[in-house]
A = this chain, B = another copy of it.
Amino acid sequence: MSAFSSLSDFRTLLVDMPGPDQEARVAAEVRNGQLTKPPGALGRLEELAIWYGSWRGTDRPSVGKRQVIVFAGNHGVTAQGVSAFPTEVTVQMVANFQQGGAAVNQLSRVAGAEMSVHALDLETPTADFTQSPAMSEAEVVVALLTGWNAVDADTELLVVGEMGIGNTTSAAAIANALYGGKASDWTGRGTGVDDNVLNIKTRVVAEGVALHASDDGLEILRCLGGRELAAMAGAIAAARAKRIPVILDGFICSAAAACLAKAQDGALDHVVAGHLSEEGAHGKLLDALDKTPLLSLDMRLGEGSGATLAINILLAAVECHSGMLTFAEAGVAAG
C-alpha cells in the first residue's frame, strides 16, 4: 500500500507531520552548558547538536546510519538548449555512481554513509515546461513516492542529491515561481554555460513561470520540476515523518525542498543547509528558506556532494556534545 496516491493525500500528510521533542531540546541545552568549554565556544556546533537531539528525542544523541540518496531524471526542457552537456550524460553518470566513480561516492565513504542511486524513467524525459506542465499528477506522485520509499526506516541522518542534465533550469523556474522577481535573478550558469546559453536559460525560465504561475508549492513542483526534484521532496517529507534530520545540498535540492516549505509552513524544520553553492541564486534561495549554510567552498556539482561533505560537521557536533565530559566530571573549574 502506498503512503499516498494523490497530491491531495500528500498535502494532508505534510500538515500532520511530527515536530521536535521539546523536552529533549531543553535537556540537551542544559547538558551543553555543563561541558568543558567556555559557553558558546563551539559556535554553531552547539546549536546543531541540540537541534539534532531534539529531532531524535534525546539529550545525548549519536548519529547512526547516514543515508545518501541520489535521484536522477531527464528534462524535456533540454530541447531548448539550456545545458553545456548532452542529455545522455544523465544515464552515463548514473552508471558512474553505480560503479563508485563520482565525487559523491568518495564523499559518502568519507562520511561513513550508505549511498544509493535511483534513476527515474530516464528514457522518458519530463515534458518541456515552456509548452506544458513538466509532469502529470500521476507522474509527480510516482516520483514523490519513489523518494518517500527510498528512505530507510533505520536511517538517522539523510542527504538527498540529484543528477539531471537541465535541472538547474528547472530549479530556477521553481524558485522564480515560488518567490517572484525576475527570471534573471534565479538563473545561473549551472554546469558552466556561456553567455549565449545563459540568455536562452533565462528566457526559458521566464516562459515557464509565465505559463505555470501558481501559489501552490506542489503544483509548481509538478509543472516546473523534474522527477528527481519530486523524489527529493518526497524523501525529505518521509524523513520528517520519521523524525530523521536532513542536510540540504545545493540549488536544485533547495528548490525541491522549497516546494514543501511553500506547501506547509515549518515543513523544513528538520532540515539544515549543508553548503552554499557557487550557483548564483542559491544564497538568495537559502535566505528565503531562512537557512544558514554550514559550508561555503565554491562547490556547484550537485549529486548531494555539498551536503554529504557537511555530514561530518554534524557528526562532529554530536560527538562533541555527547562525548565531552562536564566540568564536574572532569574536575575543571567552570570559570
| B320 adjacent to A36 (CB under 8 Å) | no
| A41 adjacent to B92 (CB under 8 Å) | no
User: Smallest Cβ distance from A203 to chain B, in angstroms?
Assistant: 22
User: For the complex, is A298 an interface residue (Cβ under 8 Å from B)?
Assistant: yes
Query: What's the Cα separation between A93 and B324 when bound, in Å?
Result: 12
User: For the complex, is A214 an interface residue (Cβ under 8 Å from B)?
Assistant: no
Q: Enumerate A284-318 residues with CB–CB distance to B below 8 Å.
A: 294-301, 305, 309, 312-313, 315-316
Q: Enumerate A35-58 residues with CB–CB distance to B below 8 Å.
A: 35-45
- Nearest CB in chain B to that of A103: its residue: B320
CB neighbours of A15 from chain B (8 A): none
| A84 adjacent to B319 (CB under 8 Å) | no
Query: What's the Cα separation between A28 and B44 when bound, in Å?
Result: 34
User: Smallest Cβ distance from A71 to chain B, in angstroms?
Assistant: 18
A158-172 toward B: CB 8 Å interface, digit per residue (1/0)?
A: 000000000000000
Query: What's the Cα separation between A112 and B320 when bound, in Å?
Result: 14
User: For the complex, is A180 an interface residue (Cβ under 8 Å from B)?
Assistant: no
| B278 adjacent to A43 (CB under 8 Å) | yes
User: For the complex, is A27 an interface residue (Cβ under 8 Å from B)?
Assistant: no
Identify the stretch in A94-102, A135-143, A233-241 within 8 Å (CB) of chain B at 4 or more residues: A94-102
| B313 adjacent to A42 (CB under 8 Å) | no
User: For the complex, is A74 an interface residue (Cβ under 8 Å from B)?
Assistant: no
User: For the complex, is A333 an interface residue (Cβ under 8 Å from B)?
Assistant: yes
User: For the complex, is A16 an interface residue (Cβ under 8 Å from B)?
Assistant: no
User: For the complex, is A131 an interface residue (Cβ under 8 Å from B)?
Assistant: no
Instruction: For A36, give its contact among B102, B312, B319 (CB under 8 Å).
Output: B102
- Nearest CB in chain B to that of A112: its residue: B110
A301 and B38 contact, Cβ closer than 8 Å, known pairs A92-B330, A95-B331, A330-B96: yes
Instruction: For A101, give its contact among B36, B93, B107 (CB under 8 Å).
Output: B36
User: For the complex, is A185 an interface residue (Cβ under 8 Å from B)?
Assistant: no
| B298 adjacent to A309 (CB under 8 Å) | no
User: For the complex, is A65 an interface residue (Cβ under 8 Å from B)?
Assistant: no
Instruction: For A99, give its contact among B39, B305, B330 (CB under 8 Å).
Output: B330
CB neighbours of A19 from chain B (8 A): none
CB neighbours of A297 from chain B (8 A): 43-45, 294, 313
Instruction: For A107, give its contact among B41, B88, B298, B316 (CB under 8 Å).
Output: B316
Query: What's the Cα separation between A241 and B103 when bound, in Å?
Result: 32
A191 and B41 contact, Cβ closer than 8 Å, known pairs A101-B330, A107-B316, A320-B107: yes
A257-290 toward B: CB 8 Å interface, digit per residue (1/0)?
A: 0000000000000000000001000000000000
Top 8 nearest A-B pairs (CB, nearest first) are A101-B325, A43-B298, A41-B301, A38-B191, A43-B299, A312-B312, A106-B323, A106-B319
**Could you write out 9 A-B pairs with CB less than 8 Å apart?**
A36-B102, A38-B85, A43-B298, A86-B335, A89-B332, A95-B330, A106-B320, A110-B312, A110-B319
Beyond the given pairs A40-B192, A103-B320, 5 more chain A to chain B contacts, judged by CB atoms under 8 angstroms and listed by A's residue number, are A38-B85, A43-B297, A85-B333, A88-B333, A95-B331
